[in-house]
Amino acid sequence: AESNLTTIEGGGSFLPADSRAPGATPYGRILHFGIREHAMGAICNGIAYDGLFRASGATFTVFADYLRPSIRIAALAHLPVTYIFTHDSVGVGEDGPTHQPVETVSGLRVFPNLDVMRPGDPEEAVGAFVAAMERIDGPTALILTRQKVATQAEMPAKGRREGALRGGYVIVRETAPLELILLASGSELEHAVDAATKIGSGVRVVSMPCMERFDRQSPDYRESVLPASCRKRIAIEAGVSGLWYKYVGLDGKVLGIDRFGISAPCPVVMKELGMTADAVVEAAASWA
């Protein structure tokens, strides 16, 4: 859809040839579902069952709940459907709490066999799309922001793309003995990176665009990213906090949003709800 920036240029709209709608053709590659999210998911499943084409469906993240039954079937039946869920957090801003997903992304992560990828910069987004297109044994949900995010150019593009394919990786490495690990996904990655520069040289930043892919990596790789010897960890994500505790442990902290949002411009909402680099710095400084 145009609102998700997912329209295929020149793809044509799947409509009768005599339709007066722009781009109408019975050979169109774009199906306009409007607000029929469950039908969209079910039809994507049907296309995937046939196997000739790859299908993707797009809507705002908060409306993913309307197609949960079809997502469950895709995961259960190992169908390579791609979901493109945009407007992924309270960063939606003035649309208010009805359109600000806080529980939705975690609600998707609990599906067995669904890869949920929330990239933190353009190169991670490329890696996430490659992961979705290469996957043949199950569906992938791409979780994307409405607001702009910073490009983490300190690491080469290749490293960020490959890191996204692994699900989690070290995007900023400490230059002194490791004292603290910051974890983040999506639009909060830039806050973790900014906070690391303010806290000190013993800080590592781990980008975690996809928990499911990271959990499938070898024990040695996971240990290299999150060494057990460092128990001082802080995760930040603009959503409910619960799932992050499996990475930060009982000694760690999670800066999440365990409440519904507010209606205000994106920067105001993010600051009010603690999604800032300064909030990460404060959390690190408050450690006993």
Domains and CATH numbers, the chain: 33-285 (3.40.50.920)
Residue 24 near residue 12 (C-beta atoms within 8 A): yes
pLDDT for residue 287: 79
Which residue type is seen at 61? T
- Angle, helices 122-134/157-166, rounded to nearest 10 degrees: 50
Residues marked active site are found at 37
8 A C-beta contact, residue 57 and residue 66 = no
pLDDT of residue 134: 96
Low-confidence ranges of the chain (pLDDT < 50): none
**What pLDDT, on a 0 to 100 scale, did the predictor assign at position 191?**
98
Of 126, 117, 230, the closest CA to residue 173 belongs to: 230
pLDDT, residue 145, reads: 94
Q: What is the pTM of this model?
A: 0.94
Backbone angles phi, psi at 53, to 5 degrees: -120, 160
pLDDT score, position 288? 54
